[in-house]
Amino acid sequence: MLMTGAQYIESLRKMKTRVYMFGEEVKDWVDHPIIRPSINCVAITYDLAHDPEYADLMTAKSNLTGETVNRFSHLHQSTEDLKKKVKMQRLCGQKTASCFQRCVGMDAFNAVFSTTYETDKKYGTNYHENFKNFLKMVQEKDYVVDGAMTDPKGDRGLAPSAQRDPDLFMHIVERREDGIVVRGAKAHQTGTINSHWHIVMPTQAMKEADKDYAVSFACPSDAEGMYMIYGRQSCDTRKLEEGADVDLGNKQFGGQEALVVFDNVFIPNEYIFLAGEYDFAGMMVERFAGYHRQSYGGCKVGVGDVLIGAAALAAEYNGAQKASHIKDKLIEMIHLNETLYCCGIACSSEGHPTLAGNYEIDLLLANVCKQNVTRFPYDITRLAEDIAGGLMVTMPSEKDFKSDLKVGRNGETIGDICNKYFAAAPSCTTEERMRILRFIENICLGSSAVGYRTESLHGAGSPQAQRIMISRQGNLEGKKELAKAIVGIK
């Protein structure tokens, strides 16, 4: 069954997810003004799947059930699937100008599917069948699943088992005949509150001493002992202001991150995908990271498309669209954005089947893609801010523009004065100019819009994580041999 956006939102109301924000429990979190824009983002991924124009990108035929499913819950069956994934993510970025939150689950599905197959092959476990049954349920119910990998980590110089507080990494605290009990937390979790289920993975490669930390499983988001603490965003309380509109920039959509705490959560055997097989933790991490770094060649490009359009509008509203340096800056923004897209398509086109049968991207090119994402969006935002001008961060509030308080010698109100002095080209009203500048502020400075600037740096691993993988995958020794062969060194 393919849910609609409205059905998805109603399905969240039936859950008993525990959410905390600003030191208090949020009971009606589905309709909370700070949280709701991120839910709207996810709802778009459902509605687009019902649109005939986008059905080819947004849906796929399940290899598990033969039924049509949302592509966000699909196992990639070809390089064409990998490319459609990137194109779908670009589309969703264009429609929301924010993070639509379902990529982590999709990337987790594909990483866990292939890793459990190879784990079972070595150890005779039943993890792969467990996972297939779980994913069938997800596809049939059309659930959103959060992929949870990042642990708080504590002292980065110590292994999980050597931490002063063992809970700084997710770990097994009890093994029962019918399952396991886990404790710990997952940090920076995108879309976690908006998800029906969570699929947890190890955060790094493990050694034998860390085997209790080599754990992967699925559980519902409202499982007993599980709760979320919502992450702050710049300017998030603007959404709480009465009648807030222009000042929000992107009123309808937004991103979401939270700390997810597992306080002795019981996981039944049928939802366990790894439980101590430490030598496969690294494989699961690398494969998830590869898929997720591919994702950034789509979602960030879609948001970039919108930001480029906003910058072009700002130039037009400022009356500067014909200036040669403005044209050149817009060209550079397009060039950088399309280069990111090229990387996403390239690592997809060079994909290959895993032993389990689903398709994996080219890991080297996926890491090159994400390395570029840690840089190019910063240049794109810099250029957008340059084109927009300083008013983007110095303009008065929306209430000032609407104020009827008289201050001028001829009876002018504060609103009159603001609208007079912040007017620009005749092609736009003062309010339209303010709207586009607030929108650029929203994307560039992260004003309640997690999903572009800083997230481009740290999401799917910070820059050094990709450089480590590029070093491993770069085949430097092979390149040396090429040089030797040409110059005649034996």
**Region of 423 on the Ramachandran plot (φ > 0 left; ψ -120 to 50 alpha; else beta):** beta
C-alpha closest to that of 253 among 431, 444, 447: 447
Q: How far is CA 49 from the centre of its chain?
A: 19
Give dist(CA 179, CA 254) in Å, integer: 37
Structure tokens at 400: 């000032």
Contact 89, 371 (CB under 8 A): no
C-alpha closest to that of 116 among 355, 345, 364: 355
Q: How far apart are the first and last CA of the chain?
A: 63
Structure tokens at 383: 């250029």
Distances (CA, A) of 454 to 222, 255, 443, 446, 449: 29, 12, 10, 8, 10
Question: Annotation-wise, does 119 bind a ligand?
Answer: no
Q: How far is CA 365 from the centre of its chain?
A: 19
Residues with catalytic function: 99, 103, 190, 257, 292, 296, 299, 455
Query: In sequence order, which residues have a C-beta less than 8 Å from that of residue 56 and are 6 or more positions away?
Result: 84
Taking the CB of residue 265, how many other CB atoms lie within 10 A of it?
A: 21
Give dist(CA 92, CA 57) in Å, integer: 10
Give the number of residues written for the chain: 490
Give dist(CA 172, CA 396) in Å, integer: 53
Binding residues for FAD: 190
Binding residues: 190
